[in-house]
Structure 1
């Protein structure tokens, strides 16, 4: 942040979440600035994915607040939250979650089409992002006909095509070999920083967290922050 008026883009404060008798979050806190990449780390079952889902407005915390650009997500209607996830937020998941019946270009264009962008413009923007992510050659292929690394780059293109302000990446390299994982992270972090988007990255791999500016470690539903050395 720079200047006295600057504030974090996305803030989670004193977040609590339980699923039945299982406590996932117990007072977790989180903040990310525009253009910052923050890695959420922790052992399996620590609550890191639940924290990401609360920050993204997918899951409502039992207690605590999540504010995006100063707005409390709890005050938004379901329609407003859906619009936020289509335009201001982008998502990359471990297995891409591309629509198998659509071509790679159609997958990238899908969030634009859902937001009312005309087909020709949506297709052009999708192709531009596939070129930027170095997978324009698979634009007309369906996801089942491309490699895992190519598919994940398509998923990154889909996440970035709406020019989101926050990208949520949940184990984006978990299904890839180390070489493809490094390339995906290099492209994701580089493109996000260039556009000024914040990245909230869930990972259990230290090498993947190496692309972040800062680590937030989740353990037993609580968080602590570690500043990374340049």
Structure 2
């Protein structure tokens, strides 16, 4: 097994009177795809958000490459999310005022890249994810499946080490969902990125190397036969 890249240990998180995580733990190794499964309200997305440094746990430790995220400054965590982490959400969350090319280039622009360089890299990724013909379109002018592929290109454009995908196929029909998850997984395999994948669909989880089941805020590890 490759080295541990990301870990969450004994994570506790509450939102008001609601306990979302009650001692959840999981590891993500380099070049590994881990699916997080569980019923609605079990804490799946909260676990992903804690691992990504979007939400701070009330207790427990999240470490990336051996460094505690809580010990980082807000600026350092933001920089981490722009460089080492990539994100794909259920509804894409593309910026409607920007073209698809500008959306994909956005993480690079936020990191200080020149527009010309950022858009050149974005074009390469859009071609690779099979949406190169959509560079001039805005999100409102394309289909949901196309939008998710653009979101995948945006997640990959910085060369992240970990891609966090929260129900990336949840808003798509089975055909488009299959295309999106296959593109995401195949590209991550090619680039050596790890994926933390929240899903409720067994066919999507089947693309993972390992499953973590969340129930009532607690985690259970499941080793897959393949």
TM-score by length of 2: 0.99
Structure 1 residue 211, shift from structure 2 partner: 0.8
Residues 128-162 of structure 1, C-alpha deviation per residue, up to 9 Å, x if partnerless? 11001101111110000001100000000000000
Distance in structure 2 (CA, Å) of the matches to 1:19 and 1:144: 33
2:127 aligned with 1:131? yes
TM-score by length of 1: 0.97
Structure 1 residue 193, shift from structure 2 partner: 1.3
- Aligned partner of 1:220 in structure 2 is 216
- Aligned partner of 1:178 in structure 2 is 174
- Aligned partner of 1:81 in structure 2 is 77
- Unaligned segments of structure 2, at least 5 residues: none
- Unaligned segments of structure 1, at least 5 residues: none
Distance in structure 1 (CA, Å) of the matches to 2:222 and 2:50: 21
Structure 1 residue 121, shift from structure 2 partner: 1.0
Residues 156-176 of structure 1, C-alpha deviation per residue, up to 9 Å, x if partnerless? 000000000100000000000
- Aligned partner of 1:63 in structure 2 is 59
**How many residue pairs are counted as aligned between the two chains?**
226
Residues 44-68 of structure 1, C-alpha deviation per residue, up to 9 Å, x if partnerless? 0000000000000011001100000
- Aligned partner of 2:158 in structure 1 is 162
The ranges of structure 1 where at least 4 consecutive aligned residues each deviate by more than 2 angstroms after the TM superposition are: none
Structure 1 residue 180, shift from structure 2 partner: 0.4
Q: Secondary structure at the match of 2:27?
A: strand
- RMSD of aligned residue pairs (Cα, Å): 0.6
- Aligned partner of 1:12 in structure 2 is 8
Distance in structure 2 (CA, Å) of the matches to 1:133 and 1:195: 13
Structure 1 residue 24, shift from structure 2 partner: 0.4
Which residue, 204, 211, 226 being the options, matches 1:208? 204
Distance in structure 2 (CA, Å) of the matches to 1:207 and 1:213: 13
